[in-house]
Structure 1
Amino acid sequence: MKIKAIKKDVGYAIDSIESLGKEKAYKVRLPDYPIDKKLAVSRKNLNGNIEICIYIEEPYKYPYMADWEKFGIYESFILENTNSIYSVGKGNRLNASIVASDPMTIKIEVESFQKGETSTFNDTHLRLVIPCTKKIEFNAFHANPHKINDTTYFNGLIKINLNNSQYHLYKYSNKDKNTNYLIIDSCQPEKLDSFKDITKSILLSYGFVTGNLYQDAYYYQVLSKDKTVLSTNTSYFKQEPSALSSANLFHPMDFKMYLKHFKKEYVLDKISAFLTENYFNKMVSKINSLPELSHCIKLMIEGNQSNLLLLRGGIYSIALETMTNIICDENEDKLNPISDKKLSKLLIEKFKLILDEYSPFISDYGTKVLNTKIDNINSPTNSKKLLKPFEILGIKLNKEEIKILNQRNKFLHGVSIDSNDEDLKYVTYKFLTLVNILILKYCGYNGHMADYGAMYQLRHQDKVTAHLFRII
């Protein structure tokens, strides 16, 4: 059955973004402050910040020159021109300077800038537009077709359902201008803060799957009631640099060819070669509900772009520790050596009685240390704790993978690691694979994924000790 393409209108959205950064003149509106009704000019500089110059003809001396805040430059104020108003938030200043020229010039630099009143961004349909430096890929996803102007993207829109609300994640490219955009629309009215929180989770999920977390600059926009044509309001927020490695978790076409080579195409009757919307939705939901998981995934994405193997190994080890703690905390009853809590408590009490008996022969420091060890007697060893999450999630590890997991401390503490050893590269890529497995399974995924350790062996070593793709 032919699926109808979802129509999207982005032309006015892109025009609004381009217009926001162009040089424009205004009149400042901030009653009871010297900058009120003064001429101002704004433009976006090469660093992605908005520069605002305010010109004051009257001479101001002490106490204004001794305390710039008296001018009102750190307050929220409005910039007006013939057609519209722009908002500058309170305290949002990277730099501020005053040039004692004629007229006197106050120059401020901000990381956020807004066309329209803040109130217009709440309880309405919203859109997030992110200009991207790379071509946006949806090859890993089983997505929907969408149409922008005369161009139909046959696999470029993902529907996300979260907390009884729906969102559309999709791409847009302008070949004539060589520009690319990643866009998220809300399909229902909501508040800007809520939209920011949810879009962050969507972008992290997309970044985890593709290896590319697009940031740099976020433009939040207000959609009109028909959800196609934009109103003029746009809110700009400069972000930290994008993290781009293209370390895809899935390679659907390669996976199909791999199965064909081994005459195992029947596997596709049970699992999809592409990441379905259902699994992507589960991932977004998990990330949105658990800040620790969100931080872990962001750490992984940023680690993927590093060329320093020891640094990458250390980052993956930290991520492994985070995932281990998340899963173990949720499954404490499966982790403790003694499952009976009453028995565990009884043993601790008896050990402490023995310690009390011999405490006169032990230093205060030694007594404190032993008390702590007795309190934690029903906790697993570090090596067992690292393996337990894989067991809990039903992930089978071979001897080589267990050996690699036990090298976590070497990465964290720099013990006996030769950074020139080719094996270090393999171990690092295998670490990446193992952490990816944990995250995917924790998010409820069942299917295939790339084994980066095996892929590294295929390209750079004489033997391949595992399949290039792993079904989890």
Structure 2
Amino acid sequence: MGKKIRNYKKIAMIDHLKVDIEKHTYESLRKIKELDSEKALKLINKSKNIDSIITIEKEQDCDYFKCKLFLETPIFGLEEFKDNILEEDESMSFYQLGNVYNSDYNSIIKVNFPFKIPQIFKLYLSKVYTGSLENYDNKFQRLMIPLEKEFDIHMMTTKSVKYDEKVVFQGIIEVNINLFNYHIFLYSNNESKQFFLIIDGLEKQSFINFKNSCEAILISLGFLTGNLILHQYYFLTSEDHFFNKVENIFFQKNKSNIFSNNRIIDQSRFLDYLRQIEQETKYKPWVKPMPKNTFDNLCSTVLNNSIYARCCQIITEADQTKHDLLKAGIFSIALETISGLIYEDNKEKINPIQDKGKARLIRHKLQKALEEFNQKIPEEALKIYTAKINELNKPTNSKKLSYPFQLYKIKLSVEEIEILNHRNKFLHGTSPFEETELIDKKYELKFIIAHLKFMINCLMLKYVGYSGHIVNNPGFMEYNTKKTVSNHLFKII
């Protein structure tokens, strides 16, 4: 269970300016540099009678560790490697002056076997960590993710943060997930060209709990910003919540980052738009970032609901797809997924017969009538009819898709209702257009995709309790392509 948040120097005075939260990063950055730097170690594997010199380093702009192993008796191929160096699912440890670095067979990305004696072959590792994994539990945890450039987090409620004598006034997010509290902030040093997205756990917790919460935060940020940061993780542990002393560090390579910058909440552009159409006074109350409690709920839902989490990732990854028919199909899958979640939570309100007793009685009588034909029709037919009877009090797929919009009071245009009815075609790799028309309907297809994405985003946000402005994708598409703008660039949901 999480504990109350400590006092993280909430009021620090810098040049007469009040700063909400102060962070220390020097020791964490030093630890990362130390881990990445080239070092000579001893590889010892008693089960294979191995005691050899190995060098290990992570070169700049490289996303894995490179190891060079020196052997007097050469080996060739993975089978000989497993027989002589390391078995599958086996761990390996490297030693240097009391320091222990670890990896395992499953972390090996590739192996190079040169035909030379003595042999120097190379291992490429996706995971390297110090100490024992047992020592990562019940510690303060920090995740640092290298970035190529700064990353915008202003669509959430933020506070000011100080690090390295630098003050950022909209620089840190507070989030609570399953009663544990976290800080999310950006570290940037233009002089050293270092940029990190940092997540701090504010209570001691297990390593696996922290990793899962970080993944939920990153998926949530990816959904809101269009930028899913996955590439390289540095996990650090400390007994000190300021991380003035780092005990252990764990590097992990993941999938490639996704950068589309397709934000679905954007209060700055929304304000500019309202001024442009002279509606600022009327809609000013909606010019605000996502509230903290809504972001808490978003991250918690991603952590606790694997279907919702998968839907977030589908939406983010769909923007990387260049083939428009495939993109329309992916968004149609996401639409059915979130609609299905909402249906399951509200099925008693949407089922054709609301009275459970009556629905059960009708089903029972139909099953009895079917039993009279047990010996007269094929077994397969009986299974099909039984399944249909059991599904009798469920709404049609089109009703399941339209109901969530009614539930959340999201008014759909005639065009959007028509697109909902076409989603099944996209699921089967076709479109509302004839094959001969497709080449001339590229804009229309992209416009349908923009509508699909907008409708999905509406349901995803309402599912976690959001009320506020949202980017209207069809409106922006019209605006950016200089077509006649018939849709507003933002809507209120």
Q: Show the 5 A alignment for 1:78-89.
A: 78-82=93-97, 84-89=99-104
Q: Given the alignment of the two structures, is residue 445 of structure 1 paired with residue 454 of structure 2, yes or no?
A: no
Give the letter for the 2:409 counterpart.
G
C-alpha distance in 2 between matches for 1:381 and 1:407: 15
CA contact (8 A) 1:333 1:339 kept: yes
Q: Which moved more, 1:419-428 or 1:10-19?
A: 10-19
CA contact (8 A) 2:150 2:186 kept: no
C-alpha distance in 1 between matches for 2:392 and 2:233: 50
CA contact (8 A) 1:143 1:276 kept: no
Structure 2 counterpart of 1:146: 161
User: Structure 1 residues 380, 56: CA separation in 2 closer, same or farther (over 3 Å shift)?
Assistant: same
CA contact (8 A) 2:36 2:57 kept: yes
C-alpha distance in 2 between matches for 1:362 and 1:70: 60
C-alpha distance in 2 between matches for 1:152 and 1:254: 24
Structure 1 counterpart of 2:448: 427
Q: Given the alignment of the two structures, is residue 305 of structure 1 paired with residue 320 of structure 2, yes or no?
A: yes
Structure 2 counterpart of 1:468: 489
Q: Given the alignment of the two structures, is residue 41 of structure 1 paired with residue 41 of structure 2, yes or no?
A: no
Give the letter for the 2:484 counterpart.
K
Q: Which moved more, 1:189-198 or 1:13-22?
A: 13-22
Query: 1:121 aligned to 125, 136, 161, which one?
Result: 136
Quick one: percent identity of the two aligned structures? 29
C-alpha distance in 1 between matches for 2:483 and 2:121: 65
C-alpha distance in 2 between matches for 1:233 and 1:207: 28
**What do the CA deviations read for 1:58-110 (whole angstroms, capped 9, x no partner)?**
x4899x99643343423323212236221123543233455564334454332
C-alpha distance in 2 between matches for 1:230 and 1:182: 20
Structure 1 counterpart of 2:4: none
Listed as ranges, the gaps of 5+ residues in structure 1 are none
* SS in structure 2 at match of 1:171: strand
**What do the CA deviations read for 1:354-393 (whole angstroms, capped 9, x no partner)?**
5566788866555543333222111111111111122223
* SS in structure 2 at match of 1:94: strand
**What do the CA deviations read for 1:268-321 (whole angstroms, capped 9, x no partner)?**
564342222222112111111111111110111111222322122111111111
CA contact (8 A) 2:290 2:466 kept: no
Q: Which moved more, 1:319-328 or 1:68-77?
A: 68-77
Query: 1:240 aligned to 249, 255, 264, which one?
Result: 255
C-alpha distance in 1 between matches for 2:356 and 2:325: 41
CA contact (8 A) 1:86 1:117 kept: no
Q: Which moved more, 1:82-91 or 1:453-462?
A: 82-91
C-alpha distance in 2 between matches for 1:356 and 1:122: 59
Q: Which moved more, 1:45-54 or 1:296-305?
A: 45-54
Structure 1 counterpart of 2:221: 206
* SS in structure 2 at match of 1:153: strand
CA contact (8 A) 2:174 2:184 kept: yes
Aligned pair count reads 469
Listed as ranges, the gaps of 5+ residues in structure 2 are 1-10, 12-16
Deviation at 1:343, TM superposition (A): 1.2
CA contact (8 A) 1:256 1:273 kept: no
Deviation at 1:445, TM superposition (A): 0.5
Q: Show the 5 A alignment for 1:377-416.
A: 377-416=392-431
CA contact (8 A) 1:223 1:231 kept: yes
Deviation at 1:246, TM superposition (A): 0.3
Deviation at 1:262, TM superposition (A): 4.2
Q: Show the 5 A alignment for 1:106-117.
A: 106-117=121-132
TM-score by length of 2: 0.87
Give the letter for the 1:424 counterpart.
L
C-alpha distance in 2 between matches for 1:381 and 1:276: 36
C-alpha distance in 1 between matches for 2:392 and 2:47: 67
